[in-house]
Amino acid sequence: MSDEAKTYGFDTLQLHAGAQPDPATGARQTPIYQNTAYVFRDADHAAALFNLQELGFIYSRLGNPTVAVLQERVATLEGGVGAVACASGHAAQVMALFPLMGPGDNFVASSRLYGGSINQFGHAFKHFGWEVRFVDTEDPDAVKAAIDGKTKAVFCESIANPGGYISDLKALAGIAHDAGVPLLVDNTSATPYLCRPLEHGADIVIHSTTKYLCGNATSMGGMVVDKGTFDWGASGRFPNMTEPEASYHGLKFFETFGNLAFTFYSIAITLRDIGMCQAPMNAFQTLLGIETLSLRMDKHCENALKVAQHLEQHSAVEYVSYAGLESSPYYSRVAEYCPKGASSIFTFGVKGGYDACVKLVDSVELFSHLANLGDARSLIIHSASTTHRQLTPEQQSAAGAGPEVVRLSIGLETAEDLIADLDQALAKAVG
């Protein structure tokens, strides 16, 4: 990001960062470059590209002009030096950890994560020989105790899905940095409009661009953003960054690329070998979504607060877990980490437990019962029977997804209509 770009406001950057009129046609909107490969000028040009001596496009698994604009835009909005797009949020989690980890290594992760992340970390990552250590990140001593000589990262969500808890990023960054490891933050639920984790000590930010960044439930995607300030050579823990890379004739990424080492490794090694690239059409749709991100997030937050306040007083509701409510134990963190709002996902406990929750999600008319969040439309799901179904009861409770819990993702409709729909569905579910 240039010094000039840093002077622009968020609304300007969400429209312009990374993009210029198309040099071939003058098209103002970023074109969809729906192609796989790119012609080299000559043999020397091809060799320089493959040796990482020159920047350019080789093959769309490694880089694509449409995707490149999206990468620069998200990096700029987050305040990072570089970003790499991939196929989904789950792919982004692999991409974020792949440069850091090796067989036998571990990372420490919050127990308050999206159920799919808990499954991926706890089961799929075992195939890589990676160990996850789940802890309650509200307990600093537990985080410290979980870190040892083989730990390579600390991982949390800025606003946890599904419970809407706001992580104490500064405290977690301090613990991670004292141990010589980076803090990785999934910022999907907040977006860079509501929270910029890199400003609070995080080193790497992860997004499922499928959610709020796209905003209209049309396109899958993920993104990893690097702050560019972590010293990969300080502790000796990160040989992928500091030791000679055999597939590039002994090139050392940190020595060669400095603050862009992580970004270049993610492209030259992770995308090259794992191959989870983002489709150009999906990048285009996400760029369109980002153009209205600030406008949408303001409305999302406004609606969510109105609905949460109503549910908090509802006779069929046991409790509401939303950081935007003054009753929330996380309310004080809103001003520090999310001053523009606490996003629009939250949970509430339904009197009658599991059976009442199932009846509730079957009774809504305006809300859509599906497994997604961050859509322009309002969504509802019973996490214990869906997204967190594979977890143990103890894991469900730790994640804020117990049997009595329903998660809402509040959209852009008229708030009073959403409230009326929940009222009629709660009446049928609880009586």
pLDDT tens digits for 189-248? Answer: 999 999 999 999 999 999 999 999 999 999 999 999 999 999 999 999 999 999 999 999
Whole-number Å distance between alpha carbons of 40 and 49: 9
Give CA separation, 324 vs 16, 186, 249, 409, in Å.
31, 19, 53, 14
Q: Count Cα atoms within 13 angstroms, Cβ side, for 123.
A: 8
* pLDDT tens figures, 131-181: 999 999 999 999 999 999 999 999 999 999 888 899 999 999 999 999 999
For residue 111, which phi and psi values (nearest 5 degrees)?
Answer: -75, -10
Report whether pLDDT(1) > 50: no
Q: How far is CA 378 from CA 4, 260, 342, 346, 369, in A?
A: 38, 39, 16, 12, 9
Residue 251, strand partner residues? 245
> What is the number of other CB atoms lying within 10 angstroms of the CB of residue 101?
22
Mark 256-293 as b/e (b = at least 16 C-beta within 10 Å): ebebbbbbbbbbbbbbeebebbbbbebbbbbbbbbbbb
- Please give the CATH topology (third level) of the domain spanning 5-289: Aspartate Aminotransferase; domain 2 (3.40.640)
Of 168 and 401, which is predicted with more confidence?
Answer: 168
Q: Is the previous residue joined to 197 through a cis bond, with omega within 30 degrees of 0?
A: no
pTM of the predicted protein model: 0.94
Contact status, residue 379 vs residue 360, Cβ threshold 8 Å: no
pLDDT at residue 2, rounded to an integer: 46
Check whether 431 has a pLDDT greater than 90: no
What totals of helices (H) and strands (E) does the chain contain, helices first? 18, 12
Query: Residue 359 corresponds to which amino acid?
Result: K
- Taking residues 329-334, report their average pLDDT: 96
- Residue-level pLDDT at 35: 95
* Region at 56 (left for phi over 0; alpha for psi -120 to 50; beta for the rest): left
In the CATH scheme, what is the homologous superfamily, with its name and number, of domain 294-430?
Answer: Aspartate Aminotransferase, domain 1 (3.90.1150.10)
With 80 as the cut, is the pLDDT of residue 47 above it?
yes
Residues 217 and 221: their CA atoms lie apart, in Å, by 11
Report the distance separating Cα 428 and Cα 431, nearest Å: 6
The structural domains of the chain, with segments of one domain joined by +, span 5-289, 294-430
Distance in angstroms (rounded) separating the CA atoms of residues 229 and 149: 22
User: Does position 4 have pLDDT exceeding 90, yes or no?
Assistant: no
Q: What are the residues whose beta carbons fall under 8 Å from the beta carbon of 29, sequence distance 6 or more? A: none
Report the DSSP beta bridge partners of residue 206. 186, 224
Greatest alpha-carbon span in the chain: 75
* Residue pair 184/172 in contact by the 8 Å Cβ criterion: no
The pLDDT, as a whole number, for residue 400 is 74
| Cα 139 from Cα 148, distance rounded (Å) | 17
